[in-house]
C-alpha cells in the first residue's frame, strides 16, 4: 500500500450506480478500459504491491471494445487522468491517461463537461468512483513525491512531453542516439539491491547509437550540453557527462546556448526532462 499523505480528486461524473474504491497501492501497472459508443463501459486497474502485480476489481460491464494501457513498470507511472462526463446521462464519456512519459487516449467521445485530476509532483496510486452498467464517475488517489532529493534542471526548453525516471542507487549505463541533435536518451540504473532497471527511451529513433557503460565503482557527477533552434524547434543539440573516472562525449553538435551543471560532490541517481521526437530538456537528481 502507498505510504504517506494521500490526496484524492473526484469522483467526476454522475451519482448513478453504486460506489467503489480500489484503495491505494505502490503504483499503477496497467489499465483496461472497455469503450462503448459514447461512454466508458468499464475499467479495471492492475496495481503494484512491493513488486507484485495485483488486479483490482472490474467496474462496469465489458460488452465493448477493450483498450489496454501497459505502463513501463517501474520507471513509468500515471500522473493524471482527464476526460469528459455527460450532463444528460451523468456518465463518463471519455478518458485520457497521462504518465510521466506520454499520454494515452482519448478513449471515448470528447463531449460534455471536461474534468482533470492532477497534482504537481505526484503519482496516481489508486482509483475510485461509481458504477452500474457503465462507469458513472471516476476519481483518483494521488501520493505526493518526497522533495528531500535535490535536483538540477531541467536545462533546455519547455517543448515536448515531461518525463521523470525517478531515483535509484546509481546510474549504470547511458544509451544516447545523436547526430546533429540528441535524438533520444535512455538510462539503465541500479536499484537498491544492485539489480539493473532500464528506464524508458526519451525521444525517437534516429542518429548514431553511443553506449556508455560505467564501472561498478564509477558514478556520474555532472553533465553539460548545448540547446538551440533547429527546423523551428528548440532541441538539445549536444551532451557530455563527467564521472569520478573520466569524461564521456560530447555527443551531438556543440552549437547554440550552453548549459552546464557543476558537480557539488553528489552522485547523479536519476534523470528527468522533456522530449518529443527529439530530446528537448534534461535534468538530474543527486544523492546529496
Distances (CA, A) of 90 to 20, 32, 38, 97, 214: 16, 21, 12, 20, 55
Q: Is the dihedral of CA 55, 59, 62, 68 positive or negative?
A: negative
Ranges of residues in the chain with a pLDDT under 50 are 3
Interacting residues of 143 by C-beta distance below 8 A, sequence separation 6+:
2, 3, 4, 5, 6, 7, 24, 122, 123, 125
State residue 250's pLDDT score.
95
**232: three-class secondary structure by DSSP:** coil
- Alpha-carbon Rg for the chain, nearest whole angstrom, is 21
State residue 6's pLDDT score.
86
Global pTM?
A: 0.59
State residue 150's pLDDT score.
81
State residue 146's pLDDT score.
63
State residue 2's pLDDT score.
52
State residue 153's pLDDT score.
84
State residue 148's pLDDT score.
64
CB atoms within 10 A of CB 51: 8
Residue with cell 553506449: 211
- Give yes or no for a contact between 5 and 143, defined as CB atoms under 8 angstroms apart: yes
Distances (CA, A) of 260 to 130, 239, 240, 242: 50, 10, 9, 11
Per-residue pLDDT tens for 79-99?
999 999 986 678 999 999 999
Bridge partners, 81 (sequence order): 97, 117
Alpha-carbon distance of 269 to 168, in angstroms, equals: 5
**39: three-class secondary structure by DSSP:** coil
State residue 87's pLDDT score.
67
Alpha-carbon distance of 166 to 176, in angstroms, equals: 19
State residue 233's pLDDT score.
83
State residue 69's pLDDT score.
97
What is the length of the chain? 288
State residue 270's pLDDT score.
94
Amino acid at each position: 500500500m502507498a505510504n504517506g499523505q494521500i490526496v484524492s480528486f473526484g469522483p467526476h461524473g454522475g451519482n448513478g450506480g453504486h460506489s467503489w474504491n480500489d484503495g491505494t497501492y505502490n503504483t499503477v501497472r496497467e489499465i483496461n478500459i472497455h469503450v462503448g459508443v459514447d461512454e466508458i463501459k468499464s475499467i479495471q486497474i492492475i496495481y503494484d504491491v512491493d513488486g507484485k502485480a495485483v488486479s483490482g476489481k472490474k467496474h462496469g460491464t465489458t460488452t465493448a471494445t477493450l483498450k489496454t494501457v501497459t505502463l513501463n513498470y517501474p520507471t513509468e507511472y500515471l500522473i493524471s487522468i482527464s476526460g469528459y462526463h455527460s450532463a444528460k446521462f451523468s456518465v463518463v464519456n471519455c478518458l485520457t491517461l497521462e504518465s510521466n512519459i506520454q499520454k494515452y487516449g482519448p478513449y471515448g467521445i470528447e463531449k460534455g463537461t471536461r474534468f482533470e485530476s492532477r497534482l504537481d509532483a505526484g503519482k496516481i496510486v489508486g482509483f475510485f468512483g461509481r458504477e452500474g452498467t457503465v462507469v458513472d464517475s471516476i476519481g483518483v488517489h494521488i501520493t505526493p513525491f518526497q522533495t528531500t532529493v535535490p535536483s538540477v534542471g531541467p536545462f533546455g526548453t519547455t517543448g515536448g512531453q515531461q518525463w521523470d525516471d525517478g531515483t535509484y542507487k546509481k546510474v549504470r549505463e547511458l544509451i544516447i542516439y545523436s547526430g546533429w541533435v540528441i535524438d533520444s536518451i535512455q538510462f539503465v540504473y541500479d536499484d537498491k539491491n544492485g539489480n539493473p532497471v532500464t528506464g524508458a527511451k526519451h525521444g525517437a529513433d534516429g542518429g548514431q547509437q553511443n553506449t556508455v557503460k560505467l564501472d561498478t565503482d564509477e558514478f556520474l557527477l555532472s553533465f553539460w550540453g548545448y540547446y538551440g533552434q533547429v527546423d523551428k524547434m528548440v532541441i538539445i543539440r549536444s551532451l557530455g557527462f563527467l564521472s569520478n573516472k573520466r569524461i564521456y562525449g560530447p555527443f551531438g553538435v556543440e552549437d547554440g546556448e550552453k548549459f552546464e551543471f557543476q558537480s557539488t560532490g553528489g552522485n547523479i541517481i536519476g534523470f528527468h526532462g522533456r522530449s518529443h521526437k527529439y530530446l528537448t530538456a534534461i535534468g538530474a537528481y543527486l544523492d546529496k
